[in-house]
Chains A and B, each alone.
Chain A
Amino acid sequence: MVKISDDDVHHLAQLSSLQLSDDEVVSLQSDLENILGYIEQLSELDTTGVEPTYQVTDLQNVWREDTVDDYGVSRDDLLALAPEQLENHIKVPKVL
């Protein structure tokens, strides 16, 4: 049975860029333990020498010309979606 500690939850939250509340840490700890306990059944399967699946429809190397296409969406349209903009840039809080 997989054991997930509070520290594990914090570590996974950090990997996932999620700033969780304390209550969420408690409920996620048991949920994650249960889900991982369930999917652990796959270890029973012998997959020696089996190629992993990379894709399912046998498409190979789909090429296109290396040209710029904005698909009809302008820079202004996209910038307008950002919560804050300044002079054609997306504005964010200080990094350092």
Chain B
Amino acid sequence: MSVIQDFIGISAHDNVERAITKARENESFHAILHLYEERAFAQADKVDRGELSGRLAGVPFIAKDNFLTFGGVTTAASSFLENFQAPLQATAIEKLEAEGAICIGKANLDAFAHGGSTENSAYGPTKNAIDQERVAGGSSGGSAVVVALDIVPFALGTDTGGSIRQPASFNGVVGVKPTYGTVSRYGVVAMASSTDTIGVLASSVDDATTIMDIMSGPDPKDMTTLPPFFAPSVLDGPLKIGIISESMTDDVDSEVRSSVNGVVASLKSAGHTVEEVSLPLLKYALGIYYIVVPAEISSNLGRYDGIRYGKRAEASKLSEVYGLSRDQGFMAENKRRIMIGSYVLSSGFFDAYYLQAQKARTLLINDFNTLFETFDVLISPTAPTPAFKIGENSHDPIKMYLADVMTVPASLAGLPAISVPAGKSEAGLPIGVQLIGQRRTDSRLLALAKQMENK
């Protein structure tokens, strides 16, 4: 059920024009930060003149604004980079452009991708595609909403702890976070290098698979990329699936649980085996994540000093240039994470926090490895609730972090995970189910997701 196919073989100029018109009609969602009209039409003309061809010739898309792109500014939704013109393009963007795809603009996110609601953007929150009083999820909230509103057939996102999957779930689209190292991170604003991944949000599994196929593969500019392994496939028989019992407790919204139970029933009727499994470390995963990730953030965001690029604060002393540029350029959540990172890495606390977290991470990975000796796929809700109200969690960081409780385990272990639409709540809010696989089994997960989509 590819939507992308509808864009191929017709006027690329018209495709871009339609997408931009639709983007303008939907400005009230605040999903898009910048449209790259001039460059998009120039690319479209190249396709229409036959100078640019490929599997995605003339297909418009939108990238999260933490991908470095030509055509306008790349801000990472921060004021720090408000005027930043990228001197290079992300490998993922280059690969899509080489197949003829056209980036028409950039989507909103939590500044520097720190957050789970897209409320932490320096340019204001994105609204949920189904209910404007609710959050889009995050941090790839803008990317999920532009796909849900059919502005473009696919959008790029990044997922460090759930930032593709959770907004996909909140807006009723497919969200793919691949095995760590599947897609080059070169040219994407770094958050936590040990869990940062590049993926896609799309309206169909077929399209998501095509995009992953194009973006994946080793890149000499990112030494953590894996040797080629991704190849689209179909299921070669029934699978053994484990449903994570710790993800289906009373703390989880009852409508979310019944949607997941509905999925389990249809998986069984499709011939798969589904059994309850235990992942006892699940309850510690968020704690591990909020030590390891802020530690990496505090280091990665050290580069924003107001000296080499980005906005420089007015000050007469160099130390004040650093301190004020960073105070003015970062949002509250950026500062919280940088300071937590500084804390857990500082002498006297390193062993108790950072080292303990990395050991606990090993235990979590071991638990997953044991389960994958018996099971092909694990499932859980993508998020414990449907989209919450804008402002509901913004004054309580811990409550906000809990929206990621289901998605961080796969990130910490580098596992591929997909959020697939699994129905709606009584109020009409989308609910997603998460499929998790062993490393390098991305294409099998996608094949299962496709089978579920056809139900």
Q: When A13-B339, A42-B357 are in contact, do A31 and B180 touch as well, CB less than 8 Å?
A: no
A47:B360 contact, CB within 8 angstroms: yes
Closest A-chain residue to B338, C-beta based? Answer: A16
Question: Nearest 4 CB-CB pairs, A to B?
Answer: A19-B323, A56-B414, A52-B358, A47-B359
Say yes or no: B324 contacts A32, CB within 8 Å: no
B336 / chain A contacts, CB cutoff of 8 Å? 28, 31-32, 35
Which one, B8-16, B140-148, B207-215, B218-226, is touching chain A?
Answer: B218-226
Number of interface residues of B (CB under 8 A): 72
Chain B residues at the A interface, C-beta cutoff of 8 Å: 84-85, 87-88, 179-181, 194, 220-221, 223-224, 226, 284, 286-288, 290-291, 298, 302, 305-312, 315-318, 320-324, 326-327, 330, 332, 335-336, 338-344, 346, 352-353, 355-363, 365, 396-398, 401, 412-414, 439
Cβ A59 vs Cβ B181 within 8 A:
yes
Interface residues in A32-74 by Cβ distance below 8 A to B read 32, 34-36, 38-43, 45, 47, 50-57, 59, 62, 64, 71-73
Q: Are B287 and A38 in contact (CB under 8 A)?
A: yes
Which residues of chain B are within 8 angstroms of A24 by Cβ–Cβ distance?
327, 332, 335
Mostly, the B contact residues are: helix
In the bound assembly, the distance between CA atoms of A92 and B307 in angstroms comes to 7
**Could you say which residues of chain A place their CB within 8 Å of the CB of B352?**
43
**Nearest Cβ distance between residue B330 and chain A, in whole angstroms?**
7
A50 lies within 8 A of B362 (CB): yes
Does the CB pair A56–B413 fall under 8 Å?
yes
Q: In the complex, which residues of chain A have a beta carbon less than 8 angstroms from the beta carbon of B326?
A: 16-19
Q: Are B342 and A16 in contact (CB under 8 A)?
A: yes
Q: Is the CB of B358 within 8 A of A57?
A: no
Given contacts A35-B397, A39-B353, contact A90 B308 (CB under 8 A): yes
In chain A, what residue has the closest Cβ to B355?
Answer: A52
Residues on the B chain within 8 Å of A64, using CB? 220, 223
B163 to chain A, nearest CB (A): 18
Report the Cα distance A27→B396, complex, angstroms.
11
- A26 CB within 8 Å of chain B: no
- Please give the distance in Å from A94's CB to the nearest CB on chain B: 7
In the complex the two chains form, what is the Cα distance from A90 to B306 in whole Å?
11
Q: Helix, strand, loop or mixed for chain A's interface?
A: loop
Instruction: Give 21 A-B contacts (CB < 8 Å), ordered by A residue.
Output: A12-B339, A15-B342, A16-B298, A18-B327, A19-B322, A24-B327, A36-B340, A38-B286, A41-B284, A42-B357, A50-B359, A51-B359, A51-B362, A52-B358, A52-B359, A56-B180, A57-B414, A62-B224, A73-B88, A77-B87, A90-B308
User: In the complex, what residues of A have CB within 8 A of residue B87's CB?
Assistant: 73, 77-78, 80-81
> B327 contacts which chain A residues (CB < 8 A)?
18-21, 24
Residues in A neighbouring B84, C-beta threshold 8 A: 81
- In the complex, A62→B320 CA distance in Å? 39
For B87, B310, B397, which residue has the most chain A Cβ atoms within 10 angstroms?
A: B87
**A57, B224: Cβ atoms under 8 Å?**
yes
Q: Taking CB as reference atom, which chain B residue is nearest A2?
A: B343
- Are A45 and B284 in contact (CB-based, < 8 A)? yes
A95 at the interface (CB under 8 A from B): yes
Alpha-carbon gap, A66 to B84, bound state (A): 31
B412 vs chain A, min Cβ distance (A): 8
Q: Are B224 and A59 in contact (CB under 8 A)?
A: yes
With A28-B336, A42-B357, A71-B88 in contact, is A15–B346 under 8 Å at CB?
Answer: yes
